[in-house]
Amino acid sequence: KAAFINFISDEEWKSIEPVSSWFGPSSFLMSSMSALFKLSMWIRHGHGYLTENLGIPVWGSYAVFGLATLFLGMVLGLVSEEILGAECDF
């Protein structure tokens, strides 16, 4: 506590370089990190619902999310192929 009070009263905070706008709270990077965190919490709640409420074994929940990931990847691949067409050579 004393170190923090000294930090403020001695104005040591003036010598610290401000955070780059790239890492600011409203930047694209931090917004993306927030979205990934929200997604992980949704997955955690979904796993809990499947295992606790529906009685699906843990391995079954993992299989559901694994298959959903594969399916979503295939759908996104098909959509991106239709949107990008032959313009992209991966």
Q: Over the stretch 20-76, which tens digit does the pLDDT of each residue have?
A: 777 777 888 888 999 999 999 999 999 999 999 999 999 999 999 999 999 999 999
Q: Kindly tell me if the per-residue pLDDT of 89 is higher than 70.
A: no
pLDDT band per the 50, 70, 90 thresholds, residue 14: confident
pLDDT band per the 50, 70, 90 thresholds, residue 88: low
Residue with tokens 């499947």: 50
Residue 59 confidence (pLDDT): 96
Compute how many other C-beta atoms are within 10 angstroms of the C-beta atom of residue 17.
5
Side-chain half-sphere exposure of 86, counting CA atoms within 13 A: 0
